[in-house]
Homo-oligomer: A and B are copies of this chain.
Amino acid sequence: MSEKFNEKTIHRDEIFRGRIITLQVDEVELPNGKTSKRELIRHPGAVAVIPILENGKILMVEQFRKPLERTIVEIPAGKLEPNEEPELTAKRELEEETGYQCESLEHLISFYTSPGFADELIHVYVATGLSKAENPLPADEDEFVNILEVSLSEAEQMIESKQIYDAKTAYAILYLKLKELMKK
């Protein structure tokens, strides 16, 4: 695509710089010469892990999500620390959240979660060869999770009942379904 659709920043206001996100409002020049405002969230990026056990089930974590004011079930995930390689973040988050280590970690896909307003990029990995760590890394001190082993059919029920309700986990389940289908 040509660059004819680019939006040039005329002016930028930084409204908020928090522990995790930064909010900026840009005044931009549109392709037709008019101006508009864009509300932009800066995020450090994140990893998510699809941990597949020998029995074919996925390890998931149940946790309270303040933006939703409820508990949902997700694949293990966490935000990138400064200068940390995503693969290391993935292994660390897997161990912190589930107590498991993996022999193999394969990059599956990366995607922006909400490109209309945020630059959060999630790198999704498949972890296999799982075993319980003898002395697992401790969880973050403001993080409280339940660990679940979920089969594909259970996961599909959990989508129906809205216990599973987020993009990366929905993607993971579709991936598992594809994998099962290819086995047949």
Q: Which positions in A face B, CB cutoff 8 Å?
A: 1, 5-7, 15-16, 18-21, 23, 25-26, 28, 30-32, 34, 36-43, 46, 62-68, 71-72, 74, 77, 79, 109-120, 122, 141-142, 144-146, 159, 165-171, 174-175, 177-178, 181-182
Contact = CB atoms under 8 A, between A and B. Distances in A.
Contact of A115 (B31, B67, B110, B144): B67
A1 B146 contact: yes
- Most chain-B Cβ atoms within 10 A of its Cβ — which of A28, A39, A146, A171? A39
A118 B67 contact: yes
A118 B115 CA distance: 13
Given A66-B28, A167-B111, A168-B167, A20 B39 contact: yes
A119 B16 CA distance: 18
A119 B67 contact: yes
B171 A119 contact: no
Contacts of A46: 116
A66 B40 contact: yes
